[in-house]
Amino acid sequence: MHLFDVYPLYPIAPVRARGSYLWDDSGRQYLDLYGGHAVISIGHSHPHYVQRITEQLSKIAFYSNSVINPVQEAFAHKLGQMCGHEAFALFMCNSGAEANENALKIASFYNQRSKVVALKGSFHGRTSGAVAITDNPAIAAPINFKHHVVFVPHNDVAALEAAIDDQTCAVIIEGIQGVGGVHVASDVFWQTARHLCNLHNVVLISDSVQCGYGRSGKFFSHQFSGVEPDLISIAKGMGNGFPVAGVLIHPKFQPVHGMLGTTFGGNHLACAAALAVLEVIESENLIEHAAAMGQYLKTALSQIPGVKTVRGRGLMIGVVLEIPCAAVRDELLYQHGIFTGSSSDKYTMRLLPALNIGKRELDYFLEKFSLVMKKYAPAFTHE
Ligand SMILES: Cc1ncc(COP(=O)(O)O)c(C=O)c1O
């Protein structure tokens, strides 16, 4: 059997990884400024993570959600303590799309409505509801167009006011748009969304799948605005590569048996991985570290000729180039062994390294990036 060919592949096969480095099958080393798409939060194969998963595997890896799972309870308790939304409840699932799909269902059960207000440039996943609220018709199939969705321009307060009404079920916002090119939702946009949602009994969802879990320099990027959403979806950095996701649910939502469910979500092994991630984030002060490293990186990047602007927060950074970034990213990868990320904007390169990346690794990247920019964008100088 061959693989269903939906991914354009780099001709590279990583076989080993540690911290912010990967090695391919020929032994070549790579520096990871991409974090496997914002997934690697505490570094590849962190020893504490490996130990916790290994120990759990040797005890019990899985049983269904029909029995008490102490690891799931321990994880929810720790997450509540660390994330700043202690009164919220947790529902666990397996991927970011599923987290958003469940968030939409919780919202719709709550107010019995179905219209969703989403943002231009959004990405929320590929399952039916999640892809319908994603601003990319190219990845939606006809079956996905049955949802009632209104897209408003990013950070456009007036458009948001015009879109939200008494028929609206939910508003969904990425605190920092990832795929869309690293656009930060403004404080006033969040605050207006909160106010309008209160006014019309609409559910406010923070899609924190990519920008959450400490990446922004706070546990959640919406926390910069002081706004408390009703539902928060999480995935990616939560498991450092282990597939695990969840929805954080405000206490105003009443659970009913059978309302949501999953076979794999929140299994013992996934919860051990997720607990290990939180323990490392806490013991190594990774949120503060991400904020500091992000500031360092942004300042340095903005001084490199050919860089137009640098967007983002913490270690979720969009580097907007004067030239399309594809050739620059290829050169970084093939000549210098550095993985970076792209976005839907061809000028914006995305950087999503592990939260514990060191200054040494960032300096190496900055040196090679400057070199590549000299080659590809020699005409651009800073005044
Ligand atoms: C903001 C956001 N939401 C949801 C998703 C979907 O997550 P998954 O691929 O785990 O389904 C992604 C994935 O890139 C994302 O960036």
> pLDDT (tens digit, 0 to 9) for every residue of the chain, 383 residues total?
999 999 999 999 999 999 999 999 999 999 999 999 999 999 999 999 999 999 999 999 999 999 999 999 999 999 999 999 999 999 999 999 999 999 999 999 999 999 999 999 999 999 999 999 999 999 999 999 999 999 999 999 999 999 999 999 999 999 999 999 999 999 999 999 999 999 999 999 999 999 999 999 999 999 999 999 999 999 999 999 999 999 999 999 999 999 999 999 999 999 999 999 999 999 999 999 999 999 999 999 999 999 999 999 999 999 999 999 999 999 999 999 999 999 999 999 999 999 999 999 999 999 999 999 999 988 776 55
If asked whether residues 26 and 163 sit together in one domain, one would say no
**Ligand 1 close to Cβ of residue 321 (< 6 A):** no
Is residue 381 included in any domain, yes or no?
Answer: no
Query: Which residue range(s) make up the domain with 29?
Result: 14-45+285-376
**Ligand 1 close to Cβ of residue 123 (< 6 A):** yes
For ligand 1, what atom is nearest to the CA of residue 211? 1
For ligand 1, what atom is nearest to the CA of residue 125? 6
Q: Structurally, how many domains does the chain consist of? A: 2
Residue finishing a domain among 283, 301, 327: 283
Instruction: Output the CA 173–ligand 1 centroid distance in Å.
Output: 13
If asked whether residues 85 and 119 sit together in one domain, one would say yes
Query: Measured on CA atoms in the order 54, 237, 314, 323, is the torsion positive or negative?
Result: positive
Is residue 342 included in any domain, yes or no?
Answer: yes
Best residue for ligand 1 mutational test, from 7, 37, 210, 352 (most atoms within 8 Å of Cβ): 210
If asked whether residues 66 and 149 sit together in one domain, one would say yes
CA distance 10 to 48: 30
If asked whether residues 334 and 197 sit together in one domain, one would say no
Angle at 343 between CA 145 and CA 37, to 5 degrees: 95
For ligand 1, what atom is nearest to the CA of residue 97? 11
**Ligand 1 close to Cβ of residue 125 (< 6 A):** yes
Reading the block at residue 8, the tokens are: 């354009």
Residue finishing a domain among 246, 267, 283: 283
For ligand 1, what atom is nearest to the CA of residue 245? 10
**Ligand 1 close to Cβ of residue 178 (< 6 A):** yes
Compute the chain's Rg from CA coordinates. Answer: 21
If asked whether residues 99 and 187 sit together in one domain, one would say yes
Cβ atoms of residues 307 and 319 within 8 Å? yes
If asked whether residues 346 and 325 sit together in one domain, one would say yes
